[in-house]
Amino acid sequence: MVLQPGWSWSTCIKPIVGGESCQARHVGTILSGSMSAKHNDGTVDTFVAGDVYVIEPGHDGWVEGDTECVALEFNATAAKTYATKN
């Protein structure tokens, strides 16, 4: 996936699916750029190029900085319904 600077779940996806946080589980690796995830418990993780990540349901996410974030996600089930309304 390629996420542009300024992208966030709360501004780009939440209006489509609703809810207070992303309910998908994300497993992937960052190829370039950086992204962060803030979990419902308030903890924040930031991932940069070369990092592998697992982000559990219940989070917001956003691109860090002025560079696009390029990542590979390995959980295709979540991708099928990521930005669709139930």
Residue 29 is assigned to a structural domain of this protein: yes
The total number of structural domains that make up the chain: 1
- For residue 86, tell me if it sits in a domain: no
Q: Sorting pLDDT into bands at 50, 70 and 90, what band is 81?
A: low
- Whether residue 79 is predicted with pLDDT greater than 90 in this model: the reply is no
Domain with 21 in it: what CATH number? 2.60.120.10
What distance in Å separates the CA atoms of residue 61 and residue 21, rounded to the nearest whole number?
Answer: 9
Q: Could you tell me if residue 37 is inside a domain?
A: yes
Residue 48, helix vs strand vs coil: strand
Q: Measure the CA angle with vertex 18, ends 5 and 42; round to 5°.
A: 65
| Domain housing 59 | 2-81
- Per-residue pLDDT reduced to its tens digit, 1-55: 999 999 999 999 999 999 999 999 999 999 999 999 999 999 999 999 999 999 9
Model-level pTM greater than 0.75? yes
Residue 75 confidence (pLDDT):
78
- Best CA proximity match to 86, nearest among 1, 19, 12, 7: 19
